[in-house]
Amino acid sequence: MNRIAIATVLLSMISWAGAGRDALSADKPNIIFILADDLGYGDLGCYGQKLIRTPNLDRMAAEGLRFTDAYAGSTVCAPSRCALMLGQHTGHCIVRGNARVPLRPEDVTVAEVLKRAGYRTGLIGKWGLGEEGSTGVPNRKGFDYFFGYLNQAHAHNYYPEFLWRNTEKVPLPNEVEHVINGRDVSPSGVATKRVVYSHDLFTKEALEFIERHKQGPFFLYLAYTIPHANNEGGKQGMEVPSYEPYQDRDWPEPEKGRAAMITRMDRDIGTLFDRLKQLGLDEKTIVFFTSDNGPHREGGSDPQFFNSSGPLRGIKRSLHDGGIRVPMIVRWPGKIQPGVSDFVWALWDFLPTAAELAGAEPPPGIDGRSIVPTLLGQKQQPAEFLYWEFHEGKASSQAVRMGHWKAVRNAPDAPLMLFDLRTDIGEQNDIARQHPEVVAKITAYLQTARTENQYWPLRTGAVAKPAKKPASK
């Protein structure tokens, strides 16, 4: 077969399942998506935080686009990450709660889309969407390189005995007690010998990944575990090597730990931006920063201490905005004009956004829509509805955002609560009775918002046992 024939065959293979509509373009941006873990809407200076220092993220916001109305995929870890990876909300995702249900071969991730578009793809940090040997491990879901935690409970411990590099365990010099209060909590636990802090390894690995792939294009999903608590550590669960720069503050130790973790992450994100500039990649790289859900009340930390939800009602595990509205900053020098946007979007919009940036086609059947027009300063209509469901507690809860309206119901057969976010950002005044037409429209939407899921059926009444044993959150 001559060269022309070979080229013809290769080009005929370029489709959505191949390399996207612009696969041979050489000017695709590098894409970095940084995901914090349990960082609240009010935990950054640029979102009103007064006590925790976040100068690098504040500078990122000043140089980029800061969103006031961006949402996580869920109010807990695994389903939020599933929404991010698949471009689907929790009414359609396979993973809708913190149980160890892996992604399936037919679930197409953003990494798979970008890899087919010519990107080198890397995940560093916390995965939570597939255990060892399952169909959901990162290297089977589009990631060329993986370093971090597979299991979300394992990720509680910042001083683990091992981490994963691709499909191999990497032993670490930490020593961990896995039996806590007479209960085996493997693979998590509490370190009795603390030598290597996992977050520091993630930063080192991220910088090395960028260096290796500086010729581009690359996609780096940097999923930090900060400021999640080590739940097994009790009131000493805010694990960090040093309380700097807060060691002399008259604060409870868990709050010193939370603040120090966030400032440490901010420092390392600043180092990442410095490296991009050193390598001449700053204007070639679009960087997203956000959180997987609202702030936690774990590890001895109280989210009210730093007003971590800001003006919002609720925290992690709530479908009020404090549990799902998150900080979101996007920076791309020379392309994205600095500013503040109230455009309403959610993590499931990232996949089609990344696809458009890469000149690729997103997979069919997703819920997300590209927000590239908004990023580039163009007028864009938001989606009519955003939808969430959550399955912990006595019954399944659901939430909808429709324009400036926010609806929550705490069980499928419970009355719908309605809030006007223009005048009631804290969701304090239920005005459902005053707006029956809005309630009717949202109620009708809820009839079609989801598909059935064997692991997470909508539950009313008393607690029902889930189909799979939930992992610790």
The CA distance from 322 to 75, in Å, is: 9
On whether residue 396 sits in a domain, the answer given is: no
For residue 307, the Cα-to-chain-centroid distance in whole angstroms is 21
d(CA 324, CA 31): 24
Taking each helix axis as running N to C, give the angle between helix 253-278 and helix 198-212, from 0 to 180 degrees, rounded to the nearest 10: 10
What does each C-alpha distance from 289 to 36, 87, 198, 256, 280 come to in angstroms? 8, 17, 19, 23, 21
Q: Which residue has the tokens 């491990």?
A: 137
Residue 362 lies in a domain: yes
Question: Taking Cα atoms as reference points, which of 96, 192, 78 lies closest to residue 472?
Answer: 78
The phi and psi torsions of 276 (rounded to 5 degrees) equal -60, -40
Kindly state the tokens that stand for 198: 């996992």
**Domain-located, residue 281:** yes
Q: Residue 422 domain-assigned? A: no
Predicted confidence pLDDT, tens digits, the chain (473 residues): 444 333 433 333 333 333 333 333 458 999 999 999 999 999 999 999 999 999 999 999 999 999 999 999 999 999 999 999 999 999 999 999 999 999 999 999 999 999 999 999 999 999 999 999 999 999 999 999 999 999 999 999 999 999 999 999 999 999 999 999 999 999 999 999 999 999 999 999 999 999 999 999 999 999 999 999 999 999 999 999 999 999 999 999 999 999 999 999 999 999 999 999 999 999 999 999 999 999 999 999 999 999 999 999 999 999 999 999 999 999 999 999 999 999 999 999 999 999 999 999 999 999 999 999 999 999 999 999 999 999 998 999 999 999 999 999 999 999 999 999 999 999 999 999 999 999 999 999 999 999 999 999 999 964 444 444 444 44
Which token pair is 267?
């420092």
Q: Are 402 and 382 in contact (CB under 8 A)?
A: no
Q: Considering the domain boundaries, does residue 429 fall inside one?
A: no
Q: What are phi and psi of 421, to 5 degrees?
A: -70, -15
Token pair of 410 as six digits = 């705490």
- Given this model, what pLDDT does residue 393 score? 86
pLDDT of residue 26: 55
Are 23 and 14 in contact by the 8 Å Cβ rule? The answer is yes
**How buried is residue 41: exposed, middle or buried, by Cβ count under 10 Å (0-12/13-18/19+)?**
buried
Long-range contacts of 369-378 (CB under 8 A, 24+ apart): 369/345, 371/343, 371/345, 374/341, 374/343, 374/345, 375/65, 375/286, 375/330, 375/332, 375/335, 375/336, 376/335, 376/336, 377/336, 377/337
- Residue 414 included in any domain: no
Residue span of the structural domain in which 292 resides: 28-383
Give a yes or no: residue 453 inside a domain: no
| Gyration radius of the chain over CA positions | 22
HSE-CB at 458 with a 13 A cutoff on CA atoms is 20
Looking at residue 32, which CATH number applies to its domain?
A: 3.40.720.10
Residue 284 lies in a domain: yes
Q: How many structural domains is the chain composed of?
A: 1
